[in-house]
Amino acid sequence: MKIKSQIQKRNYQARGLEPADCVLKNCRLIDVFCAEITSADVAICGDTIVGIGDYSGVDEIDCRGSFVCPGFMEGHIHIESSMLSPRQFAATVLPHGTTTVVCDPHEIANVAGLAGITYLIEESKDLQCAIFIMAPSCVPATHLENSGAVLHAKEIAEILKMPNVIGIAEMMNFPGVLFQDEEVMNKLALGKKMNVPVDGHAPGLTGHDLQAYIGSGIMSDHECTTPAEAREKLSSGMFLFIREGSTAKNLEDLFPVITERNSHRCLLVTDDCHPDQLLRDGHLDRILRKAVGLGLDPVTAIQMVTINVANYFGLKGRGAVAPGYRADLVLFDDLQNIQPKVVFSGGKQVIAGSNRVSSEKNNLIGRYPEVFDSVHVNTKTLSFKIPAEGNTARVIGVNKDQLVTESLELPVKVVDGLAVADVENDICKLAVIERHHATGNIGLGFVQGIGLKQGALASTVGHDSHNITVVGVNDEDMALVVQTIIKQGGGLAVVCNGKVTGSLVLDVAGLMSTADAKVVADNFNSLLQAAALLGVKMEDPFMLMSFMALPVIPHLKMTDLGLVDVDKFCHTGLWV
């Protein structure tokens, strides 16, 4: 009876038989269905839009000609990359117009398994920014590393039954798809059986291999870096997720691919975004401004963060300003410079900071010990010494603003029979330390391009298994920075000449903080400044470091089990 009366109330208000609960008057409405802009009122009953046209309401808000569009929808992000708990993340992006987020929790799943996903779902309840979840398909991402948990197809089936879980997250193990690994194929079969979207992750995949990958049921990709790659994937039936995050920035390179005819198959996403950027530059609104600045039609750009997202994920009743749709709305004044000035979620105006309430950490510790006690390292066997077995080594070469790394063969400096960092040639020592089961595993090698002149950096954020990644120029500082990370229970740290010069505690699985976003951002900025004083050349070395341990993005990576030749999908020796 309650449902019927609500439907009846909406019907009466839509027909104008009684005033709407709320009416936005004098709007310039962004019609994402027809890609048009019209002048109209928006009538709202409860949390739902009931009419577009000429309406009167109990509460009337004069928009004075402001543009009104649907709330922005994030199609692919790892909330963990923001270093904020779900509650803090939602509170941070809401004022920037984001009212719906689809996230892939494979970061916390790699640390804490099902407990991590359950924590994330619980922390996402009853927020003004709705958080939907994709079941992580690759935990661990590959057999080339050790993670804190393993999720088989039977666990994925269990996750798909959880609240707000709407699909299967990026299938990073594309070799497993091509060679028909049994577990991988079982997970993909679940997507078909349950008729849910399956996201992809296939950097550089082309030709027959790409056809086989898509034909296995994978529907999207966010790893394109060239127009040719993007066009091939679009024309083969994939949805193109155009990524513009804190580290990987692909929008400008892929912009020529977007046309009037294919834009409905394109989404704008962040994938990974740090808190300082969220607070300083915004979220999806930042990407919209850049897209429009590059020359993209503003309405087309808005479609790519609203209705296109809703259509891909089957989120009915979201992504448009139309009768029967949820009243998630963004008001702004300038199409060429989209700056949200008012945001509505479910028909209620969002008040900045209203959701920024710290997690009940003390209550959650007992319920999720795997989440709040996640750093376990065997320090007795910890050593960063690399015996020289030749003069030339395989070195990871980093590229600014890209996750793809180069496989270099460079001469290595040797002192007393040990290979050491070579500051003059920008070659630092790199280590990845297993931190989940205290196995003592450690992968050792070198990286070029960080710019570090002294000291060491470390982080428990190391995609996707999230072991401890360390970059340094001497063993003593590398050991101290690891001890600092262990003592604080996870997070980031900077050490120089035997002193800790910066740290950020990430108390949730070594990935996220329960602190306010402003506190996290300020601490993180201080950390970046400490790293810059050591000679670091890039804006965010920690984000770049986190992907040095991801053995599913070409070309050379490091895990706790050693160097990985991603192109051959196997471990390789350090010495050439």
At residue 57, the pLDDT reads 97
pLDDT above 90 for 497:
yes
Copy the structure tokens of residue 570: 């196997």
pLDDT band at 361 (very low <50, low <70, confident <90, very high): low
d(CA 179, CA 336): 47
At residue 548, the pLDDT reads 94
At residue 60, the pLDDT reads 97
- Name the residue range of residue 482's domain: 372-571
Q: Which of 317, 332, 359 is the last residue of a domain?
A: 317
At residue 388, the pLDDT reads 97
d(CA 158, CA 117): 11
Q: Is residue 520 part of a domain?
A: yes
**Are the CB atoms for 397 and 557 separated by under 8 Å?**
no
Task: Write down the H helix ranges in 267-382.
Answer: 275-281, 284-294, 298-303, 307-313, 361-367, 369-372
Q: Is residue 341 part of a domain?
A: no
At residue 445, the pLDDT reads 98
- Weakest-pLDDT range from 44-58, 136-150, 155-169, 259-273: 136-150
Looking at residue 472, its amino acid is: G
Say yes or no: 536 and 433 in one domain: yes
At residue 367, the pLDDT reads 81
**Are the CB atoms for 550 and 476 separated by under 8 Å?**
no
pLDDT above 90 for 120:
yes
Mean pLDDT, rounded, for 306-315: 98
Residue 311, number of CB atoms within 10 A of its CB: 18
At residue 353, the pLDDT reads 57
Task: Write down the H helix ranges in 60-178.
Answer: 86-93, 106-123, 153-159, 174-178
d(CA 308, CA 533): 43
Q: Is residue 336 part of a domain?
A: no
pLDDT above 80 for 65:
yes
Q: Is residue 195 part of a domain?
A: yes
d(CA 69, CA 108): 33
Name beta bridge partners: 422: 427
Q: What is the mean pLDDT of the chain?
A: 94
User: What's phi and psi for 215, nearest 5 deg?
Assistant: -65, -15
Q: Is residue 307 part of a domain?
A: yes
Question: Which uninterrupted H or E stretch holds 503?
Answer: strand 499-505
Say yes or no: 82 and 147 in one domain: yes
Q: Which of 254, 282, 317 is the last residue of a domain?
A: 317
Q: Which of 317, 348, 380 is the last residue of a domain?
A: 317
Residue 409, number of CB atoms within 10 A of its CB: 10
In 272-302, which positions are buried (b, 16+ CB within 10 angstroms) versus exposed (e)?
A: bbbbbbbbeebbbbbbbbbbbeeebebbbbb
Q: Is residue 61 part of a domain?
A: no
Starting at the edge strand found earlier in the chain, the sheet holding 266-269 runs 220-221, 239-243, 266-269
- Weakest-pLDDT range from 354-363, 374-383, 538-547: 354-363
At residue 1, the pLDDT reads 45
DSSP conformation class of 488? T
Largest CA distance in the chain: 89
Residue 183, number of CB atoms within 10 A of its CB: 17
What's 211's domain CATH number? 3.20.20.140
pLDDT band at 355 (very low <50, low <70, confident <90, very high): low
pLDDT above 80 for 3:
no
pLDDT above 70 for 352:
no
d(CA 374, CA 392): 37
Q: Is residue 303 part of a domain?
A: yes
Q: Is residue 50 part of a domain?
A: no
Cβ neighbours of residue 25 under 8 Å, at least 6 residues apart?
41, 60, 61, 62, 63
Number of domains in the chain: 2
DSSP conformation class of 82? G
